Chain A
Amino acid sequence: MGRYIIRRTLWVIVLLFVVSAVTFLIFYTLPSADPAVLRAGKQPNPQLIEQIRHNLGLDKPVYVQYYRYMKGIILHFDFGFSYQDSQPVRKEIFSRLPATISLTFGAVVVWLLIGLPVGIISAIRRRTIADRVSMGGALLAISAPVYWLGLVLLYLFANDIGLVHIFDGAGTYTGLTADPGRWFGSLLLPWFALAASFAAFYARLLRANLIDVMGEDYIRTARAKGLPERRVIGRHAMRSAITPIVTVLGLDIGILLGGAILTETVFNIPGVGRLAYDGIINADLPVIQGTVLFGALFIVVANFIVDIAYAFLDPRVRYS
C-alpha cells in the first residue's frame, strides 16, 4: 500500500510537469499577441521592443523560458506577472479561489441533495409515473447547457431584471467573510444552474447502479431472509451502489475547482474560470499558463485522492 501511494504520488508530479510543458509549448509557440509589443505602446521604435522582450526574458529559447518558469514555481511558488495589469499571477488566482470554491461546493451540496434521493426513489419505484417523470426530467437537465439554463433562470427569477423578482442576479457575488447572507443569496441561482445537469447525471447513475445491485444474489438472499426492504436497500444495496458515485464526485469536484468557466461567465462570478477566460481574451500568457496549471493540479489531485480512497474501500484493487 505504501509503495502504491508513493508510485501514484510520483506519477502526479510527472503528470503536472507534462501538462505544464505542453501548455507552455502550445501558448508560447502558437501565434497570439506578442507581449513585448503589447507593452510597447504606440509609435515604439524597434530597439524599445527588443529591450522589453529582453527584460521579460522572451528573447531566450523556449526551453530556457520554461526552465525559468518552472524554477520560479518550484523554488518560490512564483507564477510570474500578468501582462495585463502587472499583478502576480499567484495572487490573482488565490484571490479568485474563494469564489470558485464557494460555487463548487455549494453546487455539490445541491446536486447531491437532489440527485441522490431522486435516484433512489426512481430505482425503488421503477416504471412508475414518478420514475418516468424524474428520469425524463433528468434527461432534459442533462441536455440543457449550463449557460443557457443560467440565462433562462436569470430572465425568470433574477431580482433586478427577472419576470419574478426572487433571487439575486448576475454579478452580485459577495465574499463569504464580507457578508454571509449576501454570499448565500448571490450564489443560489448559480448553484442551481450548475447543479442541474450534475444532479440529473447522479440520479441516473445511482438508479442504474441500484437496479444492477438489487439483481445480485446477496440482495435476493437478504430479502429472502425477510429483512425489511428499507434495510435491504439502506444497508446492503446502497453501500455498493454508492462507490462509483463517490469516484465520479471526486473527479467532478476536481474539474470544477479548476474553474467553472461557463457558469462563472454567465453569472459574472469572479472565480478562477473567469480569470482564465479573461486571460485568453487578453492574450495574457502568464495568467493562462497559471490557471491551466492550477486546473490540472486540482484534476490530478482529485484523481489521486479517488484512487487512494478506492484502494482503501475496495480490496479487489490490485496495487500495481
Chain B
Amino acid sequence: MRTPKALSAVLVACAVALVAAGCGGGGGSSTSGNASGNASSSGAAPQFSGGANVAANQGQKKGGTLNLITNEGWEHLDPGASYFQIDYLVEYAVHRPLYSYNPAGKVMPDLAAGPAQISKDGKTVTVHIKPNVKFSPPLNRVVTSADVKYAFERDFNPNVANGYAAGYYLIQGAANAKGGPISGITTPDKTTIVFHLTKSFGGTFVQSLTLPGSAPVPKELAGPGDKKSPTTYDTSPTKQAFTGPYMIKSYQAGRSLTLVRNPNWDPSTDYRPAYADKIVWKAGADPNVASRQTLASPNLLMADTVPAPVVKKAYQSQRKQLSVSPLGDYYATLNTSVPPFNNVNLRRAVVAAANRQGYLLARGGRLVGQVATHFIGPDNPAFKYAGGANGFGFDFLKNPAGDMTVAKKYMKAAGYPSGKYTGNAKVLIVGSNADPGPKEMQIVESGLQALGFKTTIKPVPQQTMYSKFCGYVKAHINVCPTAGWIPDFQDPYSYLYVPFSGKAIVPVNNVNWAVLNDPKINAAMDQAASITNDTQRLKAWANVDKMITSTAPAIPEIWSSNALVKGSSVKGVLDVWNDDWNLSFSSPQ
C-alpha cells in the first residue's frame, strides 16, 4: 500500500470513487444524510459537503501558468511505482494509462481506442490502443502495444516496487516474472494487447486498468535503468518518455516540480483539454501556512489535505474556496484470528461500546466526514444498495456515541454474564504515532476499558505499524485503530476485497488487519467479483458489506471527506475519484 501521509495515519491505497457526491455537479447518491438518529451528542450534525465550484466545466481559458502548493513531497513519479494521491496528479497529466477517469469519475478510454473486450469466462481481456499516440521528445516515436506490455513487466519488477500489481493484476505468469517477460500478456499486433488472467475477474480487472501502471513505457529507454535498485526511471523523472499533454521539465524531490506542454501530444486523441501552458508546483510548505496562503491568494491550488482548524475557518468565512468531498473510510480492526476477539459477540460488544462520534471529532468534526455504520462509503456506487448512511440497522451500530446497554447484551452472549470482560487476555492496541493516531488509540482504549479489558497502547511510526505490526500477521495485534482505506478504483471490489477477504491474507504487508477469514464471506466476494452486470454486481457487493458488518471485524469509524482549498480566481477542477485537483482540466483563470 502506498504511504498515506497526506491523510495521516491511514492505510490508503489511493483514490477513487465514482459518484461526485455533492460536488461539481456529478450525479448519484449525495451524502447529506444524518449519520444516525442520536442527535443529542455534539458532532451528530449532518456532514457538510460541497463549497466551491469544482465542476469539469466552469469557463476555463487556455494559457497561463497553474500554480500548486503542497505540504507533502512526491514519492514516486514513475508510472510503475506511483501510488500516492498527489503523485497521481502528475501521473495523469504526463502519462496515459489504457483507461482513466474523467473529473466526474467516468471511465474513459485513454491510450485504449475503446472499451476492453472481456471473454465470456471472464479470464481473457483484449484492449486495442490508439495507433497515433507518440512519445515525447527526444524519443518521438509511436506508442505500440509492446510498450504497454513492458509497462506491466516493470510493474512486477522488484526494482520498480509497484504497490498494487500483485493485488489487482491477476495475470498468468506475472507473480514470478521479476521484471522478465510475462507469459499471460500477448501482443498479436502493434495496437492489440491481450491479458490472460488467473481468475474470472475480467470485469474487475478492466477497472484496475485505470491505474497508472498500465501507462506505456519504452523498453529501450527504461530497460537499462530498471536493472538498478531503485530504478533510474524513478529517480530521474525528467528523463521519462511522456504521452500525456504535459512533460516533467524539472524536478527537485520534495521541493519543486515544473510541467510544460508535450509537443508530441495530439489533442484529437485525448479527452483532456489541458488548459494551462505550464504548471509550477512547490512542495514542502507548512500545511497551515500553505492553506492560509492559498485562501488569501487569487491563483494558488493547494493539493493536499488542509488542517482541520483551517478547514473550519474556510468553512466559516470563505466557503467558495473550500471543497469537501467524500473519500474512503476509517475503521479500527479487531483481530478475529486470536483471543479475545475471535469471539463474534465480544467484537459486537466492542463495536457497541465504541464512541464513533469521538473519532469524528478527533479528526475535525463534520467537515471531515460522517460517522460510519458499515464499510462501503458514500463515494462508492454500491453505497445506496448498502442502506446508505443508515446502514443495515444492526443494534450494535445504532448509537454513534456508544451504547453500553447493547454492549452488555453482547458481553452476556459472549459468555461474560456480568457484562464485563473477566478473561486474562491483554489487549494490544497499535497505531500510528502521527496525529490523530494517538487520539484514536485512546478513544478505542477508553471503550475497551469500559468493558473491563486490560489494554496497552503502542504508538509507532506509520511505516513500522505496517511492516512490523498491523500488516505482519504473526504479530497478532489485537486492535489497529488507525486503519483507513481509500479504494483504488470505483468497483466495490477495491473497497472490500483486500481489507476483508481471507484469500487476500499474506504474511507481510497484509492489509486484512482483522485477519478475517470467513469462508462464506470469501465465497460471496468471489461470486460478486465475477458478475458482469453492473447493478447486479453492486447489489452483490452491498450484501457482502452486510455480511462483513454483521461479523464485526472492525469498528466502522467514519466515512471520511477530503477538504481542499483554492485561490479566489483559479478554476480548480476536482477529480472525484482521486478527490484532488485534475491538472489537465484546471486553469489559472
Binding site for B on A (CB under 8 A): 31-34, 37-49, 51-52, 55-56, 81, 84-88, 91-92, 95, 160-161, 169-172, 268, 270, 280-283
Contacts and interface: CB of A to CB of B under 8 A. Distances in A.
Given A40-B161, A51-B158, A52-B229, A33 B464 contact: yes
Interface in B160-208: 161-167, 175-176, 178
Given A48-B158, A86-B76, A43 B508 contact: no
B293 to A, nearest CB: 8
A86 B467 CA distance: 19
A41 B467 contact: no
B310 to A, nearest CB: 10
Contacts of B161: 39-41, 52
A86 B230 contact: yes
Contacts of A88: 235
A286 to B, nearest CB: 11
B553 to A, nearest CB: 18
Given A43-B167, A85-B75, A37 B467 contact: yes
Interface in B268-290: 284-290
B285 A85 contact: no
Given A37-B467, A49-B508, A171-B288, A42 B164 contact: yes
B567 to A, nearest CB: 16
A263 to B, nearest CB: 14
A46 B507 contact: yes
Contact of B461 (A160, A171, A282): A282
A41 B162 contact: yes
A235 B234 CA distance: 62
Nearest to A283: B463
A159 B41 CA distance: 37
B532 interface: no
Nearest to A46: B507
Interface string B494-520: 000010000010111101000000000
A189 to B, nearest CB: 13
Nearest to A281: B461
Contacts of B285: 171
A52 B508 CA distance: 14
7 contacts: A32-B468, A40-B509, A41-B162, A43-B506, A43-B511, A85-B73, A283-B463
B434 interface: yes
A85 to B, nearest CB: 5
Contact of A85 (B1, B253, B506): B253
B508 A38 contact: no
Interface string B246-277: 00000011110000000000000000000000
B510 to A, nearest CB: 8
- DSSP majority for the A interface? loop
A172 B467 contact: no
Given A55-B158, A92-B253, A283-B463, A42 B163 contact: yes
A38 B467 contact: yes
A45 B289 contact: no
Nearest to A49: B508
A49 B434 CA distance: 27
B434 A42 contact: no
B410 interface: no
A32 B253 CA distance: 24
Contact of A42 (B158, B167, B464): B167
Given A40-B508, A42-B498, A283-B464, A84 B286 contact: no
A46 B463 CA distance: 19
A216 B438 CA distance: 58
Interface centre among A42, A48, A170 (most CB of B within 10 A): A42
Contacts of A55: 158-159, 229
Nearest to A275: B254
B356 interface: no
A157 to B, nearest CB: 15
A43 B166 contact: yes
Contact of A34 (B76, B178, B467): B467
A52 B163 CA distance: 13
A246 B65 CA distance: 51
A85 B78 CA distance: 11
A268 B175 CA distance: 43
A270 B252 CA distance: 13
A48 B162 CA distance: 11
Given A39-B161, A85-B254, A160-B292, 16 more contacts: A31-B468, A32-B468, A37-B471, A42-B166, A42-B167, A43-B509, A44-B166, A44-B508, A48-B166, A84-B3, A85-B74, A95-B255, A170-B289, A171-B288, A281-B461, A283-B461
B13 interface: yes
Contacts of A32: 464, 468
A37 B2 CA distance: 12
A81 B509 contact: no
B468 A51 contact: no
Contacts of B286: 170-172, 268
Contacts of A169: 289
B466 interface: yes
B175 A45 contact: yes
Contacts of A92: 253-254
Contacts of B462: 281-282
A281 B165 CA distance: 27
A268 B289 contact: yes
Contacts of B434: 281
A170 B166 contact: no
B585 interface: no
Interface in B510-537: 511
Interface string B472-510: 000000000000000000000000001000001011110
Nearest to A171: B286
A48 B234 CA distance: 19
A110 B466 CA distance: 44
Interface centre among B254, B466, B507, B508 (most CB of A within 10 A): B254
A90 to B, nearest CB: 12
B83 interface: yes
Given A43-B167, A46-B507, A95 B252 contact: yes
Contact of A87 (B156, B253, B289, B507): B253
Contacts of B508: 34, 37, 40, 44, 46, 49
Contact of A41 (B253, B461, B507, B509): B509
A41 B234 contact: no
Nearest to B159: A55
Nearest to A81: B230
A84 B290 CA distance: 23
B1 A33 contact: no
Nearest to B234: A86
Contact of B467 (A33, A45, A95): A33
Contacts of A39: 158, 161, 230
B13 A42 contact: yes
Contacts of B2: 41
Nearest to A51: B158
A47 B230 CA distance: 17
Nearest to A54: B158
Contacts of B163: 41-42
A85 B235 CA distance: 8
B235 A81 contact: yes
Contacts of B461: 33, 280-283
B298 to A, nearest CB: 17
Nearest to A278: B254
A43 B463 CA distance: 16
A41 B158 contact: no
Nearest to B175: A45
B253 A33 contact: no
B83 A41 contact: yes
Given A31-B468, A268-B286, A45 B235 contact: no
A248 B461 CA distance: 36
Nearest to B232: A86
Contacts of A33: 461, 463-464, 466-468
